[in-house]
Amino acid sequence: MKKEFNLEQIDRIIEMAWEDRTPFEAIEFQFGITESEVIEVMRTELKPSSFRLWRKRVNSGVSQKHLMKRNPEIDRFKCTRQRTISHNKISKR
């Protein structure tokens, strides 16, 4: 079953996928899609050269896209200033 996302959601998935410190598990938690589905979104939405650069970066060891690659002291994937309800907006102080 393929999930349908609006433009804003696709933009956010791509943004989270590009971030080195955002694990695939965080994307799955927020959008309900697996790593392979994230890869498919990136493949269809990015230019081929951009997709290749992203895959190379994710697989290079620099990225911490998998929880097992992360420092064990980091036990969360949400910023402490992030709103508890989705949309990844930092609340105003």
CA–CA gap between residue 54 and residue 57 (Å, rounded): 5
Question: Residue 86 contacts by C-beta under 8 Å, 6 or more apart in sequence?
Answer: 30
Q: How high is the pLDDT of residue 71?
A: 58
Q: How high is the pLDDT of residue 51?
A: 95
Q: How high is the pLDDT of residue 74?
A: 57
Q: Spell out the per-residue pLDDT of the chain, length 93, in tens.
A: 468 899 999 999 999 999 887 888 889 989 999 999 999 999 999 999 999 999 998 887 666 666 665 555 655 555 555 555 555 555 444
pTM for this model (two decimals): 0.68
Alpha-carbon separation of residue 47 from 21, 25, 43, 50, 62 (angstroms): 23, 24, 8, 5, 22
Round to the nearest angstrom and report the end-to-end CA distance of the chain.
Answer: 41
Structure tokens, 3: 């999930």
CA–CA gap between residue 13 and residue 48 (Å, rounded): 17
CA–CA gap between residue 50 and residue 83 (Å, rounded): 31
